[in-house]
Amino acid sequence: MMMGPRLRKLALTAHVACSVGSVGAVAACLVLAATGLTSQDSRTVRAAYLAMDLTTRLVIGPVLLASLLAGVIQSLGTTWGLFRHHWVVAKLLLTLLVLVVLSLQLDLIAYLADMATQNMLSSADRRGLRSSPVIHAAGGLVALLVPVALSVYKPRGMTRYGWRKHHEQPRTSLRSPETGS
Amino acid sequence: MEIRMSGVPPYPGAPLWAKVLGFTGLALILLGVASFIAGRGPSGHRIHSGQDGGATPSSRVLDIPVPPAGDYR
């Protein structure tokens, strides 16, 4: 079912806002994780991990989910489809991957916040534990920037399913989905 | 020669960028799964769990006050 122009623009606005917002939130999380790893001041470390815990649970997770849902609705309600173009599938898989990795990191971040609250993060043997959020936040940032670039450039390439559907459907319009508009 | 009765031209294959992105993503996923299976967990380290279901710092075990040796009668 194709969406009307008003609904399509609403879904697009929600999708763009959530996608770009998640990039900013993950960038902030990367700064907090790096601060927690490198700072020598225990109060700064505690504040960084507590803020990171709140940011991941209350901002990044919900915003990523909203971005995924808005993207799925957007793709299903337009001629792009969900599985017709490689760039749409790549965006979907990358967002899902970031969500899975984030959910795997939530316990560790809560653990670090708990440890920081009790001033137990001074020992050097937890450096490996504290470097994990930095690595994952940096990877997540790259993984979220790729879908943003894919949305802007919309590189050519249809999936096998999209190719078949495109050539099976009656030609009612001269516009090709491959051209992007 | 392949004859297609349906009129659908042969699929040209996935573009190079999609293949590169797919292989890179697959390699990263395999790396993550391998490190998970290796027993280091998703974060690279095991986290000790307390009885209350929350995370208990391992160092807290050492913080338990040890009663002085002597007669407790």
Residue A160 — pLDDT band, cuts 50, 70, 90?
A: very high
Q: Which helix (H) or strand (E) holds B50?
A: none
All residues of chain A having their beta carbon less than 8 Å from the beta carbon of residue B57 are: 111, 114-115, 118, 120
CA distance A15 to chain B (A): 22
- Mean per-residue pLDDT, A123-146: 86
Q: In this prediction, does ipTM exceed 0.90?
A: no
All residues of chain B having their beta carbon less than 8 Å from the beta carbon of residue A87 are: 18
- Mean per-residue pLDDT, B29-49: 69
Residue B67 — pLDDT band, cuts 50, 70, 90?
A: very low
Residue A123 — pLDDT band, cuts 50, 70, 90?
A: low
Whole-number pLDDT of residue B16: 95
**In the predicted structure, residue B53 carries a pLDDT above the cut 50:** no
**Phi, psi (5° rounding) for residue B8?**
-85, 120
Question: What residue of A is the nearest CA neighbor of B20?
Answer: A90
pTM: 0.77
Whole-number pLDDT of residue A118: 85
Residue A2 — pLDDT band, cuts 50, 70, 90?
A: confident
- Mean per-residue pLDDT, A116-140: 81
Q: Hey, of B5, B24, B45, B56, which one would you mutate to test binding to chain A, going by the most A CBs within 10 A of its CB?
A: B45
Residue A20 — pLDDT band, cuts 50, 70, 90?
A: very high
Nearest to B25 among A97, A157, A168 (CB): A97
CA distance A4 to chain B (A): 30
CA distance A103 to chain B (A): 10
Sequential DSSP letters for chain A: -PPPHHHHHHHHHHHHHHHHHHHHHHHHHHHHHHHHHH---HHHHHHHHHHHHHHIIIIIHHHHHHHHHHHHHHHHTSTT-SSSBHHHHHHHHHHHHHHHHHHHHHHHHHHHHHHHHTT---SGGGHHHHHHHHHHHHHHHHHHHHHHHHHHH----B-HHHHHHHHHS----S--GGG--
Kindly report, residue by residue over A46-57, the tens digit of the pLDDT.
999 999 999 999
